[in-house]
Amino acid sequence: MLLKHLDNLICSNSISKGSKMKRWLCILILCLAGCIDGRSEEEKNKQLQDKLAMTDTTEITVLIPSKVSNKKLAITLPRCFFTNLKNKVIDGKVEEIAAGIIFALPTFSGFPNDEEALHQCPDYSRPVAGLSIAPLYPKIRTKKLEYGNFWLKQQSYQFALKEQRNNQNLYISGGRRVIFADQSDKNQEDISIFFWPYDSNNADSPFPHQIDIYSVLDKEFSVAYTVYSSRYLHGKHKPLPNQWYFADALIDIYKHNESLLDHPEIVQGFIENNNRILDYIHQHSKVIE
């Protein structure tokens, strides 16, 4: 009955009823068409919900539990800024192991490079950049976080000393250079800066133009993001030719065979940018017991 119904519904207008072979061919095509999309109904529904979330301006709160206490970081923003939520939002709240927050690409490069991007859903058809927020993890078999060069103490096996002077150390990790800055009166939290130094033998490489930043957030959490050089900034978001921009300055010193250890003003540029990002996060979040 089902096959005959499909035949009458779709095939009868185009294929004569006297041609059984053509009729079965039509039915076969219909069946194959239904099988091309191999996704389950659950997968289809999840993808539909994710698509709708891209334009959903309803505020939700994402809760991220600490790994060393009963505290949770509660971040409240419109739904469209959050990506890859694993759990269902109930009554405007959802608990996640970590959270990704998406903005237009230049937002963190001289924050807030794009002020408008902070107040409207990101356009996923254009380049975007993300904040990754997660709990800090203590060392194995401990429940205590050690601050002051947090990442160096936590994962010392990943770093080898490259240079040392001016009371600062520069490390190497998998080819990248790394510098750490502790919390101070000018620095809200411990911060680490990972970068690929400019190499004249590979001048077209995109890697030196993408600097990864990791920062402590509210003592028990962390935030990670990427700062881009002006190569990736366009129009009103691109620094003027005579405007000093810390990410470009980092590339320039290695073009002249200098070292970041001789330019504390560049490190301070990244620190001040991170302070502004932390201020923004604090405006939209709180730590709850």
Three-class HEC string of 202-230? HCCCCHHHEEEEEEEECCCEEEEEEEECH
Higher pLDDT residue, 108 or 161? 161
Percent of the chain clearing pLDDT 70 (strictly above): 80
d(CA 251, CA 199): 9
Which residues face 163 on adjacent strands? 170
Q: What is the mean pLDDT of residues 44-51?
A: 61
Query: What integer pLDDT is reported at residue 54 of this predicted model?
Result: 77
| pLDDT confidence bin for 44, thresholds 50/70/90 | low
Three-state DSSP class for residue 176: strand
Query: What integer pLDDT is reported at residue 1 of this predicted model?
Result: 45
Query: What integer pLDDT is reported at residue 113 of this predicted model?
Result: 63
pLDDT digits (tens, 9 = 90+) for 81-97: 999 899 999 999 999 99
Residue 224 pLDDT greater than 80, yes or no: yes
Q: What is the mean pLDDT of residues 233-246?
A: 81
| pLDDT confidence bin for 22, thresholds 50/70/90 | low
Query: What integer pLDDT is reported at residue 15 of this predicted model?
Result: 46
Q: What is the mean pLDDT of residues 126-141?
A: 88
pLDDT digits (tens, 9 = 90+) for 259-270: 999 999 999 999
Query: What integer pLDDT is reported at residue 125 of this predicted model?
Result: 83
Query: Could you tell me if 276 and 113 are in contact, meaning their C-beta atoms sit under 8 angstroms apart?
Result: no
Query: Could you tell me if 75 and 281 are in contact, meaning their C-beta atoms sit under 8 angstroms apart?
Result: yes
Which residues face 168 on adjacent strands? 165
Lowest mean pLDDT among 22-36, 110-124, 184-198: 22-36
d(CA 46, CA 26): 32
Q: What is the mean pLDDT of residues 268-276?
A: 95
Mean pLDDT (the chain) is 84
Residue 248 pLDDT greater than 50, yes or no: yes
Q: What is the mean pLDDT of residues 133-144?
A: 87
- Alpha-helical segments (H) within the chain: 2-6, 20-36, 41-53, 150-154, 246-255, 264-283
| pLDDT confidence bin for 10, thresholds 50/70/90 | very low
Residue 13 pLDDT greater than 60, yes or no: no
